[in-house]
Amino acid sequence: MREILKDVLEDINPELDEMKGLKRTCENLERAGEKYKKEYGYEPLFCGSIAKDTWLKSKKDVDLFLMFDRDIDMEELEEKGLEAGRRIVESLGGEWEIAYAEHPYVQGEVNGYEIDVVPAYDTDPDNIKSSVDRTPWHVKWVEKNLSDEQRDEVRLLKKFTKEHGLYGSDLKTMGFSGYLCEILIEEYGDFEGVLKAAKDWHPGEVIDPEEQFKSKDYLKRKKFKGDVLIVIDPVDKDRNVASVLSDENFLLFRKRARKFVEDPSRERFFKEKHKPLSLLDLQERIDRRGTDFMLVKFDAPDVHDDVLYPQMRKLNGRLEDILDDEGFVVLRRDEWSNGEVCVLILELEVDELPRMDKRRGPPIFDKRNSKKFIERYEGEHNLLVEDGKWYAEYFREWTTALDFAKDLLHDDAETLQEEGVPRHLAEKMSEGITIATGDHSIHIFEEEEGLREKMAEYFEKDLA
């Protein structure tokens, strides 16, 4: 395994020209930061993988934090931090825009590098006012606890998770952050140690690097109940570094770790990319499954992925519940966006039902509820008794999932929100929406090559 990893490291370690270019950029940025620090009252500090020396080849982003005294209020911090950030980027001849996370920061572009200038409070982890205040302490912890050799092991782990679509603590990916990779390397010694441990992980796995808690059961059953992986932040014991990791990605990482340990090879390290399915292959796979796909397509709202993807998942879950209630059982669902359009994917067991349906009522001996049931359904419905319970035969309002979804989703933004559609999606859907099943869904697949790439992954998903 070591020979393979040594070979991989040669591919992913930054090259000399890259290191020189990044060094020049950081020196220029540092001088610009120093130039304005007295005027605005901050201390400049580099953070992120650049500061920790765990960055990968071809990295083009730099994080500069402006550390303000903790006594100033948030409004003043944002005002001074954003103004200083703009001037720093402009002094280097770059362009900037205001970006938003927990609070706003300046995102700039200078000579091909993406520069994030982030205002933060200079305070200890017990008194942070926003999550970014914790970041400098993460840098200090890594500097103290990781050797130069282990920083290369971090690079291997980052690259491995990136290759398998598991890198990133954003709400689109729901995977491994860089800091989580760094903690795992410190905990298990090296990349090989992480994978050998991970192949035997079970949901609810607990890792407490600084042994800040005596009871793992307390962490699993109470403090972080429901988290599939619990990694206690060494600088903040009340935080699970792996809280954003999805159940699916935990299981997928465990599987990839097991496969690589069992058969180490470059092919297992560098995952083969999914190619977009041809329309013929796509149709053959759908026919083989015997299901039907409903696609809901609309323009993507201009929001960050951390807003977009949770809203897409929420809406898709809402649609699944409603379709299930109407008898159109959803086998599986997924979401896709290329930043320009969004597509909700719902795989249905059936997309058409008979006109007649049957609804179960209360036991015939339940006098009070029997009366209510009869009053509701008598007249145009047939009332029957089976196994001691009332049943009502009635005609469905909708016999196809397509007609039902069109009636539900073709509406103005206000009404859509009242029906449970998140605001940003409701606004775009009210401007125009395409809903398709069967042969009509193939037209959407044809228009969106990236969606066909997504479907190649969808059909091959296997976590065991």
Spell out where 58-94 has E strands: 61-69
List the one residue out of 347, 278, 341 whose CA is nearest residue 308.
Answer: 341
Residues with Cβ within 8 Å of 103's Cβ and at least 6 positions away in sequence, in order, are: 74, 78, 119, 130, 132
- Return the structure tokens found at 304: 């960050």
Tokens 């092991």, residue located: 153
- Return the structure tokens found at 359: 């609804």
Q: What is the DSSP string of 176-211?
A: B-HHHHHHHHHHHSSHHHHHHHHTT--TTEEE-TT-
φ and ψ at residue 291, rounded to 5 degrees:
-110, -175
Q: What is the pLDDT of residue 51?
A: 95
Q: What is the pLDDT of residue 175?
A: 98
Residues with Cβ within 8 Å of 138's Cβ and at least 6 positions away in sequence, in order, are: 47, 179, 235
Distance CA 320, CA 300 (A): 21
- Return the structure tokens found at 383: 């009332």
Cβ atoms of residues 345 and 337 within 8 Å: no
List helix spans (H) across 326-385.
Answer: 367-377
- Return the structure tokens found at 137: 């302490």
Q: What is the pLDDT of residue 38?
A: 96
Q: What is the pLDDT of residue 232?
A: 98
Residues in the chain: 464
Cβ atoms of residues 85 and 66 within 8 Å: yes
Distance CA 421, CA 405 (A): 13
Tokens 């920061």, residue located: 105
- Half-sphere exposure at residue 181, Cβ-oriented, CA atoms within 13 angstroms: 30
Determine how β-strand 229-233 pairs with β-strand 205-207: parallel
Distance CA 159, CA 166 (A): 10
- Return the structure tokens found at 253: 């990482």
28-70 pLDDT, tens digit per residue, is 999 999 999 999 999 999 999 999 999 999 888 999 999 999 9
Q: What is the pLDDT of residue 102?
A: 80
Q: What is the pLDDT of residue 83?
A: 97
All structural domains of the chain, each given as residue ranges with its CATH number in brackets, are 14-131 (3.30.460.10), 146-269 (1.10.1410.30), 279-352+398-460 (3.30.70.590), 356-395 (3.30.70.1550)
Q: What is the pLDDT of residue 272?
A: 80
CA 9 to chain centre: 27
Helix%, strand%, coil% for the chain, nearest 5: 50, 20, 30
Q: Which amino acid is at 82?
A: L
Q: What is the pLDDT of residue 378?
A: 86
Distance CA 127, CA 366 (A): 59
Distance CA 344, CA 334 (A): 6
Burial classification of residue 289, based on how many CB atoms lie within 10 Å of its CB (0-12 exposed, 13-18 middle, 19 or more buried): middle
Which residues of the chain register pLDDT less than 50?
A: none
φ and ψ at residue 420, rounded to 5 degrees:
105, 10
Distance CA 341, CA 322 (A): 23
Q: What is the pLDDT of residue 400?
A: 97
Distance CA 371, CA 375 (A): 6
Distance CA 331, CA 328 (A): 9
